[in-house]
Amino acid sequence: MRNSVFLALIAGLTTAGPVVAHNEWGTFNPDFNDEAAPLLREMEKLNNSTMDEDKRYFYSRVLLWKPGQTLKGCFIGGTQSERRSIFNSAAKLLTDAKINIAIDFQSTDPFPDCKKNAQGLYTEEIRIAVGAGAPCCSARIGRNGMRKANLDEANIFLGGAPQGWQVWHEFIHALGFFHEHQKPDAPCRFDYAEVKRLWGWDEAKVKANFDRLNNDERDHRFSSGFDRKSIMDYYQTSPTMLVDGVKSPCYNPTPGTALTTTDLEGLRLAYPMSASPTSHTQRMTRVRAVVDLGGVSPGLRELMEME
Ligand SMILES: [Zn+2]
């Protein structure tokens, strides 16, 4: 079974560690969204410029992993018990979601350290920084974590003692997903000035984390509609951050702490059990023969060539 290593010991174990109250904005990803959002916008342009299904598939998967892929997982910092806690939450996500992607930690006793190669770069796809020395909570979006410039550190940051829903939110980013409130059809109207004031962010950071992504929904593998209870929302508990206040469809005084049906739908669209790695490779081969990467930005090109 592809994910047997991952699943071997999850049953019956509970997440340990003290409860950390989430702040008003819950889990967040400011720096990494700044970095990935331009790639997504470029991808969208490429996607809109062709009707060729193979090419559209290729562009839309730039940040996603290959369906059926087994990603190598490892840890940076933290104790074995802190690692176990993160592992248990992540394992629950993947087993409950029933998606066609696995993370192989190779050993669960002990949980392995990430290892740098001779060039000083990590080679594992899922590198989780944990423990007292690590920040929380953020993650690079999908394969963006494998760009060379990002290989000298973790791509998921879960320091301290994060709760299960925080672990899930960040892992879903690492699987290639942006925020729910940034979906093309999300109805949220944010008061950027208020968000700037509340959170102390500059304009660019607020935009990168709140602007809607104007993408073809199907080809970017979003789930349908807007889900106020998605685990990929920010925690819109403060009505002042929304132009429509408590009347906004995005106002959420009681944030969800579990995956919703639409969260699962999005994950399964991106990593369907029916997709085979072979057909993915065949599609990529067809696209490679005709796609011109000449006019693509260096960042996106690196990702596309990595595929
Ligand atoms: Zn986030």
- Which of 213-217, 228-232, 285-289, 297-301 comes out lowest in average pLDDT? 213-217
Grouping H, G, I as helix, E, B as strand and the rest as coil, residue 134 is strand
- Which of 7-11, 36-40, 91-95, 261-265 comes out lowest in average pLDDT? 7-11
For residue 168, report the distance from its CA to the centre of ligand 1, in Å. 10
What predicted TM-score, i.e. pTM, was given to this entire model? 0.80
List pLDDT tens digits, range 293-304: 888 999 899 999
Mean pLDDT across 1-19: 31
Separation between Cα atoms, residue 37 and residue 173, nearest integer Å: 12
CATH number for the domain formed by residue range(s) 6-270: 3.40.390.10
For residue 278, report the distance from its CA to the centre of ligand 1, in Å. 31
Task: Give residue 301's pLDDT.
Answer: 92
- Which of 21-30, 166-175, 232-241 comes out lowest in average pLDDT? 21-30
Task: Give residue 224's pLDDT.
Answer: 65
For residue 177, report the distance from its CA to the centre of ligand 1, in Å. 9
The torsion angles phi and psi of 210, rounded to 5 degrees, stand at: -125, -25
Beta bridge partners of 159: 131
